[in-house]
Amino acid sequence: MNLHILPDRVKQSLHEHGLCPGDTIIVALSGGADSCALLDILAGLKELSLHLIVAHLNHCLRGAESDTDEEFCRGRAEHYALPFKARRIDVGEMARLQKINLEDAGRQARHQFLEEVRLEHDAAVIALAHHADDQAETVLMRLLRGAGTTGLSGMSWRNGNRLRPLLDSTRVEIEAYLAERNLCFREDLSNRDTKFLRNRVRHELLPLLETYNPAIRSSLTTTASLLSDEDAVLEDLTAKLVSEACRFTPESVSCDLIVLVQQPPALLRRLLRHVLERLHGSLKHFGFRHIQALEHLICSPRPNARLNLPVGTCARRSYDLLVLERLSKQENLAGGDIVSITGPGVYRLPWGGTLILSLGVAAPPDAGRLNQNIACFDLEKVPFPWQVRTFRSGDRMTPLGMTGSKKVKDIFIDAKIPLPQRRRLPLVFCGTTLIWLCGLRTSQKSLINDQESVIIIGEYSAT
C-alpha cells in the first residue's frame, strides 16, 4: 500500500470541507485502530500547521480495561506532543437513569463531551474516524429499522461541527496503513459482542450478504453517496417551499394549506419533518406514523380538526391553515375554570381576557346590537350571579332575533372561528341559560323592551 493514499485523502477532505491551515481540530481518540490511524495522519500533515487536541471519553463500561484505554490514549497524545482531554462518564448508569440503551447513551455522552471540548478551544471541527465500512453498516442498520432517503444517505462527511475525513477509506486500507507505520492500537472486545445491533450487522449480516455480492460494502457506500446527492437537491426544494408556505414564531408554525395540498407526497413529508425539527430542535420523538397522521389531517374534508402529537405538540387544521404549536398554559386552563360574576366590576379570566360589567341608567340605542364585544341585559330577566366559562360540547343558545336554539359549535363554524380561539372565548350564563357568547352573539335575553329596566352593560376585551 502507498503510505500517501490515506494522508492525501484526508488532506483533500479537509480542504473540501472548509478547513484552513492553522485551524484547531479536536481529534476523537478511542484507542482503536481507526482513530489511532486518523490521529497519526493528522499529526503528519505538518504543512497545514494544524492545532490538534486529543479527546478521549472513558465510558466506564469495562472496568480496568476502560482505564487502560484512557491511559493508552494519553500516551498517544504525549507521543505526538499534543494536549490531551479526558473525561469519565458511567454510561451504564446514564442508560439506566434515562431508560435508553447503552449505544444511545454512549453516543449522547460522546457528543456532549466532544462538543464541550470544541467550544472550550474554539476549534473548527471534531474529527471522527468513521470509515467506508462503518458507512455500509450504518446504511444497513437504517434500512432494517426503516428509513427514507435522508436516513439511507448514511453518515455525512461533515455534519455541523463534526467531520469524517476517512469516510471513503476502507477498514482494510486503515489496517494496512497501521501495519506499514508499525502503529499500535487497542482492541475493544465489546466490538465483538453481538448483543449490539451494529456488531451483528458487522460480523453476521454483512458476511452473509457478501456470499450474494462480494462487493456489497462498496455497493452500499456508493448507494449512500448517490442518495446523499439526491437528498441535498430535495432538501433545497423543501427549504424553498418552507419559506413560501410557512411562517414561524418561537412556539408555533403556520402553513398555507392551499400550497401544501398541491405538493407531491415526498416533498410534503419533507416539509412536515422540517417544521417539526425546527419547532423542537430534533425529530427524536417523531416517526413516520406521525407524518402520516399529519398528511391525513391536511387532506381532511373537515375545515377544523385537531391532532395531538408527542412532546406537547398540537397540530390543527383551521380552514386554510395548518398550525403546529406547543400547548400553552392558557389552552390547558381553558375549559376547566368557572368564574362567578356577583355584580358589576372588572373580571380577569384565567384563560385570558377581561370582562367589564357596569350599571346603565337606560338602555343605549339599539341595545344588544352595539358590536360583537358589547352587550346589554335587563337585570330583572337575568339576575346575578352569573357564571363564565369556555365552550363545552353540547352548549346551545337562542341568539338574538331567533326563536329556536342553536348549537354554539355551529355558531363557531358559521363565523369561521379557529379551534384555539373557540377555547378562549367566554360564555356567560345566567343559571343554565347561555346569555352571551362574548365576541360573537348575544341571546334573546339581551333584548330590552322596558326603558325603566335596570341595565347591565357588558364589555369583553380579549387582552
Q: Return d(Cα 168, Cα 440) in angstroms, integer.
A: 66
Angle at 357 between CA 450 and CA 432, to 5 degrees: 75
Task: Enter the C-alpha cell of residue 445.
Answer: 335575553
Q: Decide: 51 and 25 in contact? Cβ < 8 Å.
A: yes
Q: Return d(Cα 68, Cα 239) in angstroms, integer.
A: 48
Q: Decide: 94 and 124 in contact? Cβ < 8 Å.
A: no
Q: What is the dihedral of CA 434, 437, 443, 446, to 10 degrees?
A: 100
Q: Residue 99 burial by CB count (10 A; 0-12/13-18/19+): exposed, middle or buried?
A: exposed
Q: Return d(Cα 279, Cα 191) in angstroms, integer.
A: 37
Q: Return d(Cα 306, Cα 420) in angstroms, integer.
A: 10
Output phi, psi for 155, to 5 deg. Answer: -80, 140
The CB-based long-range contact list for 185-188 (8 Å cut-off, 24+ gap) reads: 185/31, 185/32, 185/33, 185/36, 185/37, 186/30, 186/31, 186/32, 186/68, 186/69, 186/72, 187/32, 187/33, 188/30, 188/31, 188/32, 188/62, 188/69
394 is in an annotated binding site: no
R_g over Cα of the chain: 33
404 is in an annotated binding site: no
Q: Residue 321 burial by CB count (10 A; 0-12/13-18/19+): exposed, middle or buried?
A: middle
Q: Return d(Cα 319, Cα 21) in angstroms, integer.
A: 56
Q: Return d(Cα 463, Cα 437) in angstroms, integer.
A: 16
Give the DSSP H/E element, type plus range, for residue 422.
Answer: helix 419-422
User: How do 386-389 and 339-341 pair as beta strands?
Assistant: antiparallel
Instruction: Say which residue the cell 355584580 belongs to.
Output: 343
Task: Enter the C-alpha cell of residue 121.
Answer: 478551544
Which amino acid, 87?
R
34 is in an annotated binding site: yes
What 3-state DSSP class applies to 175? helix
33 is in an annotated binding site: yes
- Residues at the annotated binding site? 30-35
- Residues at the annotated binding site for ATP? 30-35
